[in-house]
Structure 1
Amino acid sequence: MAAPIRMTPARRIAFALLWLGVLAVAGWAIGAHLQLSGDLRRFMPSARTPAQKLLIDELGEGPGSRLLLLAIDGDAPATLAAQSQALRAALATQPAFKLVANGAGLGLDAVPERLRPYRYLLSPTLDAQRLDAGYLREQLDSRVQDLGSPAGELIEPLLPSDPTMEMLRVAEAWQPAQAPQTLDGVWFDPAGKEALLAVETRAAGFDPAGQEQAIAAIRAAFERARGASPARLTVSGPGAFSLEIGGRTQREASLIGTIDSLLFVALLWLAYRSWKAPLIGGLPLATAGLAGLGAVACIFEGVHGITVAFGFTLIGVVQDYPIHLYSHQRPGLSPWASARSLWPTLGTGVASTCIAYLTFFVSGVDGLQQLAVFTIVGLATAALTTRFVLPALIDPAPRDVAQSRRLARVWSALARWPRLGVASVSLLAALALAVVLFVPGPFWQNDLAKLTPVPEAALARDAQLREALGAPDVRYVIAIEAKDAEAALQASEGLLAELPLLRQRGAIAGYDLAARYLPSARTQLQRQQRLPEPQALRAALDAAVAATPFRGDAFADFLRDVEAARHAPPLRPRDLAGTALAASIEGLLREREGRATALVSLTGLHDPEAVDAVVRRHGGQLLDLKQASESLVAEYRGRVLTALALAGVLLALAVWVALRSPRRVLRVLAPMALSTLLILAALRGFGVELNLFHLVSLILAAGLGLDYALFFDHAGDDRDEQLRTLHAVIVCSLTTFMVFALLALSSIPVLRAIGATVALGVVFNFALALLIVREPAAMATVEEGADAQP
């Protein structure tokens, strides 16, 4: 094998700059093609039950995830009402919003002129009444009275085409069952102090960029509508919460990252007395991150934001690789030789960890598979660059940390600690397992709401606005599955007769379903058949008009509309595209390839059993979305646990192949296994309910434990090598502990779970590696003449 090229200081600087340049170009190329995704469904297992499928749909594209609740307060009601109208007018013209409602409801403006003749097919009037002379006479008499009332100016323009005011009846039927009170023509809270609006964005709830743009547009429009008024705007809902979570996470992550970087630089400078050590040591981590991102971008359609965040957290262990190389340097041994001697141990740890992450591919979850690719490629890249590239940048004449008297005194003190045998390890494992199994309180955290960092006050405010707006229950929903939209509408129409009875009995406070707005084609055809022939309708109208002040030719438009309705094809959901009515139906009638689902939203559900019994008679199901989310989390956890169990087996096999000694294999694996139990026991002892983030973090903690144990095993009974290993592991564990200890102090539950788990893992793995793996040194004392080094 040819000797490596001799690297002068100038060449090392040039090579470092070249490496940085390659990273910069690679970063630019990856950034130009990288498509980040925020779709949480990528990190969800395949839905199996109807409730789980609906939950996944709602998390992704459901109207509930796109709904923003607005409240304007701080001024006189009349002023707030005017601002509400101005805000609604400004937002309604913007393409970022599908629906902007503030009390106008689904009135006449919800239906364009081309669809007005359908009023007789949409209204239930003809189900019990025909358009005969008696009915028309009764309606015309009512119109005469209406024209003499204050509402006459509104009624008069509608009379020629709609003397029965059927369109107004339809619009009234479309009003929400639990609509808030109306003051000055807009919605207000019960106290009359806040003007309320409901806004549905086109951007999905998981699209942070789209939600940010929509909320920015809302605030800008409000500033224009407010003028000099002291009024205030509150924006709530999933989109607003996602921005709050993202902002807080970014701020905390930036602060923690800055502190960590400063501490990392300071610690490596203190450890190696070289300003180059932290700079050069960061190159493998940067290379690993870019390699992982590039691999995921090439293999998958889009890279999830969680993959990036978690991936960089999990490959954070690669910062240990240069540290091991630094600490094992000594005079007379070139960096290349040092890297070559460490490679079997380093390679075993990296290969074992990569094999463990391969098990994520059996989970069947796209997000976990992305995470596996990112981590495996990142770890392998960092290890290879540490072995074959980094030595070119290291000063070939370092100090030997094994000659440090201070480190020798630390090692001598640690050497007096009793080594743990099989009995001690078994006892500790039994005690930890007892704590894990028998500490009272819930073991798993299945409620996803507990992972949100949204403040309690904001959640309470959101609940208050939902109640004031009469928003539907977010937990229960009725679902009716059918082969297509027509069958779903027909099935849900059966509930229209039963739901009012449930409301009268107090089982529910309100309901909403697509059939309220759009009857099935079958129902429309039935109503169409009840429309009279032109001659019969003309005769009936003439008889009715004869006894009124109206002229005989005043209702020609009415006759044309009825004739158009007699020959019109039934109105389908696709015919409503581009109308305000479409937004209401879209959330209640879901169409997918080969199936359709009619949903019934509920308000004030007080008797789930009674509702479920009625729904089942009509072929539907009352779905509990909270239970569905918990079952989905449990199923996800089961897959992760299966992957972890398989990872443990594969990791043990990898270590066996590398060490080929039962005693050494057990000694290397014992600290990692016992640390895992101790971490779980500590978390359970403090009353922490375990979630998925704890489980994923356990993999990182296990990788650290394996790394520490392998290097202490590699040191054997050589005292100098033991001191170098101790130095490396101390620096590694301190840098890792600082990062995750700060995360453990975060206000973000996810970051806190990761930080606490890994910080505990660092402490336990370090201590157990010393107590179980270290060998008694062959040389008992340090030579008195050794030069003292820090």
Structure 2
Amino acid sequence: MKPSRPRWQDPAVWSWLVLMALGLWLCVRATYVADMSAFLPAQPRAEQQLLVSQLQAGATSRVLLVGLRGGDAPGRAEASRRLAQALRASGAFESVNNGDNAGQEALGRVLFEHRYLLSPAIDAQRFTVEGLREALLDTASLLGTPAGAALGPLVWRDPTGEVVRIAETMIPASAPRMEHGVWMSRTEPRALLLATSRADGSDLDGQARAQDTVRRAFEALRLPALQLELSGPGTFAVQSRAAVQAEVERLALLDTVALLGLLLVAFGRLLPLGLALLPVASGVVAGIVAVHAVAGQVHGITLGFGITLIGEAVDYGIYYLVQARQHGRAGWLRTQWPTVRLGLLTSVAGFAALAVAGFSGLAQLGVFAVSGLVAAALTTRFLLPVLAPQGTAGRGLRPHFGRALGQLSARAPAWRTPLALAVLAGAALLLALPSPWRGTLAGLSPIPQEALALDASLRADLGASESGLLVAVQGPDEGSVLQAAERAGERLDALVAQGRLLGYQSPATLLPSPATQLARRGALPEESVLRQRLETAAAGGPFPPARLSGFIADVQAQRSREPLRPQDLAGTPLATALAAQLVPGRDGSPWQALIQLQLADEAPAGANGAAAPVLTAAELRQALQPLPGVQVLHVKTEIDAIYADYLQEALKLSLLGALAVVALLAAQLRDGRRLLRVLAPLAGSTVAVLAAFTLAGVALGVLHLVGLLLVVAIGSNYALFFDHLQVHGQADPETLASLLIANLTTVASFAILATADIPALAAVGQTVAPGAALSLLLAAAFCRGGPANAHGRIAATAEPLQPQRETRTP
């Protein structure tokens, strides 16, 4: 007889150790994200492309809203100035705005040097004798107003008041309130700042550093009377990542404790606990590595979903460790492994369809599930038989579990009719009631309501529009898109005049198109012509022509000045505002101009005295027709449409996965009656869970659907084992014990997940925990409950057989 080598020298052990070491190394180096852009479409529709690009990397994704609450108004103003100064000096921000004059000098110089190219009042009429006379009189009337105080030093070089005209166009309809020289809330004891980080919105580490910079700068002020408030897309992303990480750690700890407790009760020894968790560890590591290899990053929700893998992956280890006590390694591989393998294939078939989804987040879930389950099953197949050839030692309460499920199996067929009627009633309910599939993208976010309320409050203080309406204009290049925005602005001006629109913010207002600037430059007269007209227009007025030589010189200087471009505004507060509204084209995509609207709360009364309704998206589209390249977007509607597309694709892919499961089972079982009794518990548990959610009024989303796929994956194992026992007609209490232990660990794992504070993870737990429990019951009922003895009755109380001895041949 050739002596057997120690188990630790077996190639399966060394191969597993090497692969796990490599996998753990890759897991540590993987990139983990938590922003919701992973759940946006990879190939969005034209209407959605703009929103997707802005959510992923737009200028608005880099904006931080900062509030300084408490104290008195002078103290808040001083703190605002000191904080703004510190943030500007940090180098972490492209711009920091709080309403003070910092940065205004450079901007004022640029605007002044280009005022005749930028002022909307400039045209050929402006420099006629009548046009000049009217402009001079208007400027003279301003000198006695607050605006005149700022105009005074410039009046001899800008007697027509073009700087005032430019300033008027740049003031939004709803601007923050100024107090003590800085922005202040209208309703709260709060000073306001707006900071744009240099880090991209998708760079969560960079966003976190920028936020830490704000916190450290605030702490350095040493003002205990004030509180710092932070919000914005970057803070949401960083908070999401932290929340997911903390929740995953908490759930993993609770899940591990619960599983260890159940397995210790079942086996009565510690060694089986570690062995049962080896397939779980393999599955989680393989899932992370596979997702990172395919997507280049791992979403936090995907990582949290990895916890759910414990619920099914641990079943594989339990099946082997318990069943091998009766069948031995060779017997288990010959009689039981084919059933486990078929259950694995059905799970893979169900989840594989998600792996090709057009949404990165959904595809990640599919890839994680497929790779994780395959790795867990292969670990069970090749590693556990080496480490535990005869299964687990110790019995614990395992015989009692076997007897308990045996007794349930004996009684369950009698409940088949009422259970079938209940499932049919649930199906009828689903057909009669409105569809429960109405979840939203916001339902995936772990951001608490308090943070969302703070964000809304800060945005309202800053005058941000809440209408949700956005006009997007496309063009092949910078000049053409600005021209298109100007044409759209002419239509919007008519709505403003009618009172249907309070105002709008357009990039063409901040920076007219090169064509418009050139047209205004062409309206500037030659020196001799201007001097002659000015002599006539200013005669007898408050501006003696002899003192306007600077004005004449500036006009002549700007007759040769090149149009102002976005890069000329770099380093000024206007650069950030323009970047948020003018989106350059990349990789062949068109340029985009975004026009933000401020809607009137109520339109003016009509002839009958009744107020007209607020401007709608349909009316806005009508007003902008037939301008080419112009889209009217209702942001919430488009986001809901994105999620609706997401959900519809998930439902279609899940249906394809279900069809693949049916086809696979049909090909393997080759018996119509067996196929029906295996499918019955899967369909019944799915319908029952859906009906319960519908009655409870729960809005179902993508993660509920993923939970139903897990119910099918887990339930298929139960149904196939019961079918196997029924066909072979052998009393096998160890198999029954393994099924009940596996079910209890699964239900416990997902019940813990149902307590998650993250809605996406809680949705999976709330779906799978009751679904898995119901799957076992229905499998016992519809698959005829368990093994039949020679007299056709269920052997419910048989004692476990002694494990078979495995012999080695020379």
The partner residue of 2:249 within 247, 250, 254 is 254
1:607 and 2:615 matched: yes
**SS of the counterpart of 1:69?**
strand
Q: Output aligned runs, 1:99-114, within 5 Å.
A: 99-104=95-100, 108-109=104-105, 111=107, 113=109
CA contact (8 A) 1:61 1:205 kept: yes
**Letter in structure 2 aligned against 1:603:** Q
**How many angstroms apart in 2 are the aligned matches of 1:106 and 1:124?**
26
1:349 and 2:338 matched: no
CA contact (8 A) 1:92 1:100 kept: yes
1:26 and 2:23 matched: yes
**SS of the counterpart of 2:516?**
helix
Report the CA distance between 1:788 and its aligned residue: 13
Report the CA distance between 1:731 and its aligned residue: 1.5
**SS of the counterpart of 1:587?**
helix
Report the CA distance between 1:93 and its aligned residue: 3.6
Q: Output aligned runs, 1:377-776, within 5 Å.
A: 377-394=371-388, 396=390, 398-399=392-393, 406-407=400-401, 409-419=403-413, 426-439=420-433, 443-473=436-466, 475-537=468-530, 561-592=554-585, 593-604=588-599, 606-608=614-616, 609-619=618-628, 620-716=630-726, 722-773=732-783, 774-776=785-787
Range with bigger deviation, 45-54 or 740-749: 45-54
CA contact (8 A) 1:15 1:393 kept: no
1:778 and 2:789 matched: yes
**SS of the counterpart of 2:209?**
helix
**SS of the counterpart of 1:75?**
coil
Report the CA distance between 1:538 and its aligned residue: 5.4
Taking structure 1 as the reference length, the TM-score comes to 0.88
Change over 3 Å in CA distance of 1:100–1:336 after alignment to 2: farther
**How many angstroms apart in 1 are the aligned matches of 2:46 and 2:501?**
22
**SS of the counterpart of 1:716?**
helix
Report the CA distance between 1:239 and its aligned residue: 2.7
Change over 3 Å in CA distance of 1:74–1:166 after alignment to 2: same
CA contact (8 A) 2:731 2:787 kept: no
CA contact (8 A) 2:500 2:615 kept: yes
Question: How far does the alpha carbon of each residue in 1:169-212 deviate from its partner, in whole angstroms, 9 at most, with x for none?
Answer: 42343122210221111111224722122233344445433332
CA contact (8 A) 1:282 1:319 kept: yes
1:308 and 2:308 matched: no
**How many angstroms apart in 2 are the aligned matches of 1:211 and 1:100?**
15
Change over 3 Å in CA distance of 1:722–1:127 after alignment to 2: farther
Report the CA distance between 1:484 and its aligned residue: 3.1
CA contact (8 A) 2:751 2:766 kept: yes
**SS of the counterpart of 1:330?**
helix
CA contact (8 A) 1:108 1:171 kept: no
Report the CA distance between 1:381 and its aligned residue: 1.7
Report the CA distance between 1:689 and its aligned residue: 1.5
CA contact (8 A) 1:111 1:579 kept: yes
CA contact (8 A) 1:40 1:206 kept: no
Aligned to 1:45: 41
CA contact (8 A) 1:421 1:772 kept: no
Aligned to 2:170: 174
Report the CA distance between 1:83 and its aligned residue: 0.9
Aligned to 2:610: none
Question: How far does the alpha carbon of each residue in 1:621-641 deviate from its partner, in whole angstroms, 9 at most, with x for none?
Answer: 332122212222222222111
Question: How far does the alpha carbon of each residue in 1:116-153 deviate from its partner, in whole angstroms, 9 at most, with x for none?
Answer: 42221011122375346787788789989999999999
Report the CA distance between 1:590 and its aligned residue: 2.5
**SS of the counterpart of 1:571?**
coil
Aligned to 1:213: 209
Range with bigger deviation, 57-66 or 142-151: 142-151
The partner residue of 2:185 within 185, 189, 204 is 189
**SS of the counterpart of 1:126?**
coil
CA contact (8 A) 2:64 2:232 kept: yes
**SS of the counterpart of 1:70?**
strand
1:286 and 2:281 matched: yes
**Letter in structure 2 aligned against 1:31:** V
Report the CA distance between 1:322 and its aligned residue: 0.7
Report the CA distance between 1:54 and its aligned residue: 2.5
Change over 3 Å in CA distance of 1:486–1:106 after alignment to 2: farther
Report the CA distance between 1:77 and its aligned residue: 0.2
**Letter in structure 2 aligned against 1:254:** E
**How many angstroms apart in 2 are the aligned matches of 1:93 and 1:474?**
35
**How many angstroms apart in 2 are the aligned matches of 1:498 and 1:61?**
30
CA contact (8 A) 1:321 1:386 kept: yes
CA contact (8 A) 2:482 2:508 kept: yes
Taking structure 2 as the reference length, the TM-score comes to 0.86
Change over 3 Å in CA distance of 1:287–1:232 after alignment to 2: same
**How many angstroms apart in 2 are the aligned matches of 1:502 and 1:785?**
85
CA contact (8 A) 2:81 2:100 kept: no
Change over 3 Å in CA distance of 1:428–1:138 after alignment to 2: closer
**How many angstroms apart in 2 are the aligned matches of 1:420 and 1:719?**
19
Report the CA distance between 1:69 and its aligned residue: 2.3
**Letter in structure 1 aligned against 2:371:** V
Aligned to 1:236: 231
**How many angstroms apart in 2 are the aligned matches of 1:178 and 1:349?**
61
Change over 3 Å in CA distance of 1:105–1:422 after alignment to 2: farther
Aligned to 2:196: 200
**Letter in structure 1 aligned against 2:495:** L
Range with bigger deviation, 672-681 or 88-97: 88-97
CA contact (8 A) 1:361 1:372 kept: yes
CA contact (8 A) 1:349 1:710 kept: yes
**How many angstroms apart in 1 are the aligned matches of 2:409 and 2:279?**
33
Change over 3 Å in CA distance of 1:783–1:299 after alignment to 2: closer
Change over 3 Å in CA distance of 1:292–1:776 after alignment to 2: closer
**How many angstroms apart in 1 are the aligned matches of 2:157 and 2:338?**
89
For structure 2, the 5+ residue unaligned runs are 601-613, 804-810
**How many angstroms apart in 2 are the aligned matches of 1:531 and 1:242?**
50
Aligned to 2:78: 82
Change over 3 Å in CA distance of 1:69–1:428 after alignment to 2: same
CA contact (8 A) 2:97 2:195 kept: yes
Change over 3 Å in CA distance of 1:644–1:58 after alignment to 2: same
**How many angstroms apart in 1 are the aligned matches of 2:540 and 2:529?**
18
Change over 3 Å in CA distance of 1:698–1:534 after alignment to 2: same
**SS of the counterpart of 2:122?**
helix
Change over 3 Å in CA distance of 1:458–1:533 after alignment to 2: same
**Letter in structure 1 aligned against 2:319:** H
Change over 3 Å in CA distance of 1:641–1:137 after alignment to 2: closer
Report the CA distance between 1:697 and its aligned residue: 1.2
